[in-house]
A = this chain, B = another copy of it.
Amino acid sequence: MNVPLRTVRVNLESRSYDIEIGSGLLDAIGQRVRQIREVTHAVIISDSNLKEYAKQVEHSFSTAEVRCSRFEVPAGERSKSVDQASALWDQLLKAGTDRKSIVVAVGGGVVGDLAGFIAASFTRGLDFVQVPTSLLAHVDSSVGGKVGINLAGAKNMVGHFWQPIHVAIDMCVLETLPERDYRSGLAEVVKYGVILDADFFRFLENNVAKIKERDPETLAEIIRQSCRLKAYVVENDERETTGLRAILNYGHTFAHAFETVCGYGELMHGEAVSIGMLCASRLAESMGRISAEDTKRQTDLLASLGLPIDVPPSGHDQLIAAMQKDKKVEHGRLRFILPTKIGHVELVSDVEENLVRAAMKHDD
């Protein structure tokens, strides 16, 4: 694979950085980071499924004459815990990590969130670099600076806004990404089209075949567009104070409920988001906010990409209860990000529960 390098700049004053998308970046990361800042010690954090990528990154830094310490956590969401963070802090200390060291996260969302949390806190903050290895991490979690860990029963409850100094997206990792993980990432890609960019949505509709066969050039382009759109949101609402960043949660209130009620792992995050977006669009339709045609375009695109579109068979009472526990709910009133057309969404408060229930019934 050989795709030309694409760069997306995230403009956040002194915290600005580049997202680079290309091929062969894993092997070049050591030299690349040395162009950004002086570095003599890199702490590489990855998970048990990604040993080879982590070693590749380690080799790249070693070749660039940077001392490396490499740590591995068990793969899976359970590693985003206080215990794992505590173990890593101790490991960093023993490895002689100081304020000039950098943290390099090699992995998907779990590793990025956890390693970023460690970077944000060790010696009051270390520079860190994201090397995301899944499509979902490419287009979502590696960009924007949200890092954190879970408490029992509460995802991402402890964390920070801590921007990376660089994001390196090596397209090569997509060649071996399992099909289900790949499709899961595509749901977030479709989301960007719905919430912000009708042209991009149309581009996806027109390139379904190439996307499904993982055409590198097409993929690089949709990753670039997704990162560009996420960067726009983050630039205008870095710390979730203006409300703009909430639009990234399109489909997510439903999705989190599906994930909670079905149990994490049953449904992958992107799968839950796929179904959740369609529920949100049907909900908007029932409120007269969007046309049936625009819901159908979403359903058709998601289905053609191989994503699930039907609500899992769970009790609606349980799902509604789960939604009311969402971090974004205020005083128990249901709020949703709802589309008015492809390319535009709005925050809608005080949505009637019976409409929410009806939107979860899909009887096309």
Contact = CB atoms under 8 A, between A and B. Distances in A.
Interface of A: 82, 85-86, 89-90, 93, 98-99, 120-125, 146, 148, 151-154, 156-161, 239-240, 327
A146 B120 CA distance: 14
A229 B153 CA distance: 45
Given A82-B82, A98-B327, A327-B98, A121 B159 contact: yes
A154 B93 contact: yes
Could you say which of A98, A120, A158 has the most chain B C-beta atoms within 10 Å of its C-beta?
A: A158
B158 A89 contact: yes
B82 A86 contact: yes
B82 A157 contact: no
Nearest to A87: B82
Nearest to A81: B86
The interface residues of chain A, by DSSP majority, are classed as mixed
Contact of A160 (B89, B90, B125): B125
B89 A157 contact: yes
B89 A123 contact: no
Given A93-B151, A120-B160, A122-B157, 4 more contacts: A82-B89, A99-B327, A123-B327, A124-B156
B90 A125 contact: no
Contacts of A159: 121, 123-124
Contact of A121 (B124, B160, B327): B160
A98 B152 CA distance: 16
Contacts of A146: 124
A239 B126 CA distance: 12
A130 B175 CA distance: 52
